[in-house]
Homo-oligomer: A and B are copies of this chain.
């Protein structure tokens, strides 16, 4: 399994479609950890996905790490725009 296979990029889809992606991933054999990546406005959605997954669907999924950062996105005219990013790692217990 490559390192990137367990990453779910959070964007503008409905929250539940990402929750379903997390649950589907965790139901694969040997799946232990999934990383939600988001930037800008999608950060709130990433938090919703993590919270809904662990509270409503998967008792065993715990938040094992949260990181925030900044990404410089290129804009017209060669300038860049700073956008906040977030990574939430969900891990299966036991």
Residues on A lying within 8 angstroms of B by beta carbon are 40-41, 43-44, 47-48, 50-52, 55, 63, 66-70, 82, 84, 86, 88
Chain B nearest CB: distance from A63 CB in Å?
Answer: 7
Chain B residues with Cβ below 8 Å from A43 are: 43-44, 47
Chain B residues with Cβ below 8 Å from A41 are: 41, 44
A44 to B10, CA, bound (A): 13
Residue from A51, A55, A67, A88 whose CB has the most chain B CB atoms within 10 Å: A51
| Closest chain B residue to A84, Cβ basis | B47
26 A–B pairs (Cβ distance < 8 Å), ordered by A: A40-B44, A41-B41, A41-B44, A43-B43, A43-B44, A43-B47, A44-B44, A44-B84, A47-B68, A47-B84, A47-B86, A48-B84, A50-B68, A51-B68, A51-B69, A51-B70, A51-B82, A51-B84, A52-B82, A55-B70, A55-B82, A63-B68, A66-B66, A66-B67, A66-B68, A68-B88
